[in-house]
Structure 1
Amino acid sequence: MAGQDGVIILGQALQAGMSESAVRRRVASGEWRRLTTGVYLRADRQHTAAVRLRAAVYGAGSEAVAYGPSAAWWHDLIDRPPTRCHVTIPERRTVRARDGVRVRRRDLNPADMLIRKSLPCTALELTVLEAAVDMRDGSVMMDRALQRRTTLAALQAAHERNLGRRGSTAAAALLRSAGEGGASEAERMLHRLLRRVGIAGWRPHVRSCGYEIDVAFTRARLAIEVDGWAWHRDVERFNHDLERQNVLVNAGWHMLRFSWHQLRHDPNRVLGQILAALG
């Protein structure tokens, strides 16, 4: 129980040598609280998000695993738990619907499941793919995972093991963009945004001080640089970008920088910052 946020299932209690009557006595005395059928919480432990997720997964029976945003939170890929618990059960089984729990029926490859902190959940790579297409800023989460936790090849392998799943097409597009680095597509997104709202006076790929500016408003001396996926940027590229920015600022350019993720998920904010700079 100490290793499971104060939660225990009936089968674990029986394996530890307790009897069903001993479990019932603990519930009757208030020492344990019943969360759902066969799942209990020590009365001195708080009903946290971790407890809710454990109850959802343990309560769904054998072979149930956390997936999607719930698994992403469990893998420490995102900071906040989702409002609902996401649980996968085998195709052949059904479970009774519960408030706050989203259940899907799907048979998973054993390579895509693991136990983390005593909780069955989807493996890191499948978690990244599935959560990325369900979350508003999922591409940012995938980018961070590629920087520190996994590789593009591992993500691609997990994707190919699960072709045809819900969100597979969107995940394939994200993987394609990640593999290409995203900078070229980000530039195209910026061009489309500027044209869509009718902002004129800009040109792409303007040279100044020996450097190329991605998009330049020459009369306003506004230079806009566009970045792709962060995991593609090595130290040499990072230092080069810093030097270029300092030279251009000293030459009188006002610099703005936007990422692929900002242009895809928050174009209105990008547009607002550009208009503020032009104003």
Structure 2
Amino acid sequence: MLDDLLRRHDGVITLTQANRAGLTEQAVRRRVRAGHWRRCSPGVFFVDDREFTDAARIRAAVWGYGQSACASGLASAWWLELTRFPPDIVEVTVPRDSHGRRHNGSRVRRRNLAHLDIIERRGLRTTALPLTAIEAAVRRGGGPKLMDQALQRHTELRQLWGAHLRNTGRYGSPAARLLLQAADDGTKSQAERLFTRLLNASGISGWKANQNVIGYEADVLFGAAKVVVEVDGFAFHTDPETFERDRRKQNALVLAGYQVLRFTWLDLTEYSERVLALVQSAISAR
């Protein structure tokens, strides 16, 4: 039972868990004195016979603040696989009436969270995906692409708004509102939002975002000109199945008489004037 627990929990264990597995407090102390277990914080230990991974570091940091604590911000984003890069400082959210000192390597935020905003993943309490996405997106090292990941793969804009409105007044709330308002133009990715902003700023009109065309969803459609623009954002899928589906979609649109333009994030950020010139040329030719 103990070995299974340690394997599932990245080598991290609390005193309460050790007691439940049959170890007394004295037995735990003997393991610490012998150097087999390392004390991470009061009541939290790491079995020092394996690598102290990022998962172990985040788990130990959160558990160090008690049973009501949960990972949040970039720590939660990494735990929920919204980002590949774990943060150096683990953000932990605890209830407002919690006590205890801050531990090295962590940052504490005291806030009472709604039941909807907390989940458990791999034995660790963490903020739920919608709240995680809007909080991590405004952290340094986060960025709008975290919100893109959530919108494209896991959740919906209304769920992000719900999490935001349940937690107004938190750190980063005004910046998160701006991101959510930007996402409300009907597009799903940051790249699409950037493209529609470019169109609006240039005065190019006659387009709609996310329109159904012969059974496919077009990122941007110029209906009168029969021009479709596809935009590849940060979270663009490159797996073989998606690659083939995108090519079938493009071929079907061309055969139906639509001209298809495709732009990457690099096109939009580095060559925006060229992008707009191509769009203007395509819709003018029709």
TM-score, with length taken from structure 2: 0.70
- Give the stretch that moved more between structures: 33-42 or 122-131: 33-42
**Distance in 2 of aligned mates of 1:115 and 1:80:** 20
Moved more, 161-170 or 58-67: 161-170
Q: Is the 8 A contact 2:41 2:103 kept in 1?
A: no
Q: Residue 65 in 1 paired to residue 76 in 2?
A: no
Is the alpha carbon distance of 1:131 and 1:187 closer, same or farther for their aligned partners in structure 2, counting shifts above 3 Å? same
| Alignment RMSD | 4.0
CA contact (8 A) 1:70 1:81 kept: yes
Residue 263 of structure 2 aligns with which residue? 257
Counterparts of 2:67 and 2:16 in 1: how far apart (Å)? 11
- Distance, in Å, in 2 between the alignment partners of 1:36 and 1:186 is 48
Note the C-alpha offset of 1:63.
0.7
Aligned to 1:56: 61
* Sequence identity (%): 42
Number of the residue aligned with 2:211: none
1:175 matched residue in structure 2: 180
User: What per-residue deviation string (whole Å, max 9, x for no partner) do you get for residues 240-275 of structure 1?
Assistant: 89849xx979xxxxx88255x986xxx5xx259969
Given the alignment of the two structures, is residue 17 of structure 1 paired with residue 22 of structure 2, yes or no?
Answer: yes
3-state DSSP class of the match of 2:137? helix
Question: Aligned in 2, Cα 1:230/1:50: closer, same or farther, shift over 3 Å?
Answer: closer
Partner residue in 1 for 2:153: 148
Matches of 1:20 and 1:229, distance apart in 2: 49
Quote the residue 1:106 is aligned against: 111
Per the alignment, residue 133 of structure 2 pairs with 128
Q: Which of 144, 164, 170 pairs up with 2:169? A: 164
Query: Which residues in structure 2 correspond to 1:1-279 (within 5 Å)?
Result: 1-135=6-140, 138-182=143-187, 183=192, 186-189=195-198, 204=204, 239=250, 243=254, 257-259=263-265, 267=269, 270=270
Structure 1: 5+ residue runs without aligned partners?
193-201, 215-224, 250-254
Q: Distance in 1 between matches of 2:113 and 2:13?
A: 25
What is the CA-CA distance between 1:188 and the residue it aligns to?
A: 3.5
Secondary structure of the corresponding residue to residue 92 of structure 1: coil
Q: What's the TM-score once normalised by structure 1's chain length?
A: 0.71
Q: Alpha carbons of 1:262 and 1:22: their partners in 2 closer, same or farther (altered >3 Å)? A: farther
Whether the 8 Å contact between 2:145 and 2:235 is mirrored in structure 1 is no
Shifted more, 97-106 versus 5-14: the winner is 97-106
